[in-house]
Amino acid sequence: MPSELTAWLAFAGLSVLLLAVLATGNRAQMLTDGMRDFADRRIAAAGINLQNIHLKGVSDYSRADIRAALDFQRGQPIALMDLAKVKENIEKIGWVESVTVRRQFPDVLIIDVVERPRLAVWQYQNKSYVIDDKGQIIPEARAYNFVDLPLVVGEGANENADEILELVRSRPELMQKLEVLVRVDTRRWDLRLKNATLIKLPALNQEDALARLDTLIASRRVLDQGLAEIDLRDPNALIVAPFATTAQPAA
């Protein structure tokens, strides 16, 4: 009898046992040690062992952490793996927002991960953290690997970064010139540009203030005027200050 046919007949002979195990995902509750050993031998004899692990949605940054959380090896019976435990272990990893784990017979395990979105790098008390869109720290992420992310600084900056970044990102020219967003007194933002211009936003009605800035950019190219400060905190007044000039010594 061909070996492939033998393997599948052996698998069919264990179908009732496998259905019970797969239904619970916890073979310890279904089998005694002797029955478990017998099942392992029969499934191994049928050639139904784990041979391939497919990781989906996994970035290069998180791959090593996710693989380290897998407490199994190739070659063990795939049908008797505790998928709930695999899922639980992966969900403990900071990179991971959600995960699904499934078998693809005869010998493949598919792990489909949705990673937490990386929003910004947050600097606070001389430390740098990568944060997600809810302002939560991703513990495994190293800030030096994410220099392209926006930088937010100060107490409470992580908790409020999503809202201000949405406003700034909708303004490509401003976003391109942005160096850092600084949270001031846990209530408002300063935007420091790459040319050292400081834009002061109000604690309330940030969108209205940025709309005023849009008008100034369009009509006066205000971001290119060499200004040290653009103060938008008062909706009824605009305060700008040039960079201080250094006096030249007399000849």
Integer Cα distance of 159 and 191 in angstroms: 17
| Residue 18 clears pLDDT 90, i.e. is over it | no
CATH 3.10.20.310 spans which residues of the chain? 49-115
pLDDT at 175 over 80: yes
Decide the pairing of beta strands 108-115 and 96-104.
antiparallel
Band (118; pLDDT cuts 50, 70, 90): very high
pLDDT digits over 40-84, tens only? 556 555 557 777 889 999 999 999 999 999 877 777 777 777 889
Domain with CATH 3.40.50.11690 in the chain: 118-242
Which pTM value belongs to this model? 0.75
Is residue 229 within 8 A of residue 240, CB to CB? The reply is yes
pLDDT at residue 15 is higher than 60? no
Mean pLDDT rounded to a whole number for the chain: 84
- Indicate if the pLDDT at residue 3 is higher than 80: no
| Domain 49-115 coded CATH 2.70.98.40 | no
Q: What is the CATH number of domain 118-242?
A: 3.40.50.11690
- String of DSSP letters for 95-111: TEEEEEEEEETTTEEEE
Cα(210)–Cα(216) distance, integer angstroms: 10
Q: Specify the pLDDT at position 24.
A: 52
